[in-house]
Amino acid sequence: MPDSHTPLSPPSSPPSTDRLERSIFIAAPRSRVWQALTTAETFGQWFGVALQGQRFAPGRYVRGNITIAGYEHVMFDALVDSVEPETRFAYRWHPYAVDAQHDYSAEPRTLVSFTLQDEGAGTRLTVVESGFDGVPPERRLAALHANTGGWEEQLLNIQRHVAPGA
């Protein structure tokens, strides 16, 4: 065991700049978490985006304005990648696309993938966002940093939505 004067060796590999992963336990059955995650209007309630009248289906775009104070100018624009009932839901979007003056359409989208697993009396929800290495270098680290904190908050939002008071 190193003492306070012994430097620790560097990690064997640097932290990834291409992906982030966050996970949360939700004290609710998988079916309830799945419904909140994959019904567009319900997703919009906890995520903070207006998706009334839309639905998530592979190959389909969903779009709506963010409803979070200060971000109403931001458009949520996602292309649904996959919907595997009660197991995995994924979409592609432009990460941290908050500058209304910037055209993000030529940039590659990252892949946001949610997976659900039974855990004890509830559900483990994990989100992985990958593909940050394709984001233009001048935006990459800011997008990775912002979305890391953003997913932590959004996982708490869905937890509060699905299992209030838990």
Please check whether residue 144 is in contact with residue 21, taking contact to mean a CB–CB distance below 8 angstroms: no
What are the residue ranges spanned by the domains of the chain? 19-162
The structure tokens 């389909």 sit at 60
Class of domain 19-162 (CATH, top level): alpha beta
> Average pLDDT, stretch 124-132?
97
Q: Which residues fall within 8 angstroms of residue 81, CB to CB, at 6 or more apart?
A: 58, 90, 91, 92, 111, 113
Tens digit of each residue's pLDDT (9 = 90 or more) over 52-99: 999 999 999 999 999 999 999 999 999 999 999 999 999 999 999 999
pLDDT per position as a tens digit, 8-23: 434 344 457 899 999 9
117-146 average pLDDT score: 95
Average pLDDT, the chain: 90
Q: Where is average pLDDT lowest: 40-44, 98-102, 155-159?
A: 98-102
Residue 95 to residue 88: CA distance in whole angstroms? 20
pLDDT for 166 equals 63
Mean pLDDT of 19-37: 97
pTM of the full structure: 0.88
The whole-angstrom separation of Cα 20 and Cα 132 is 9
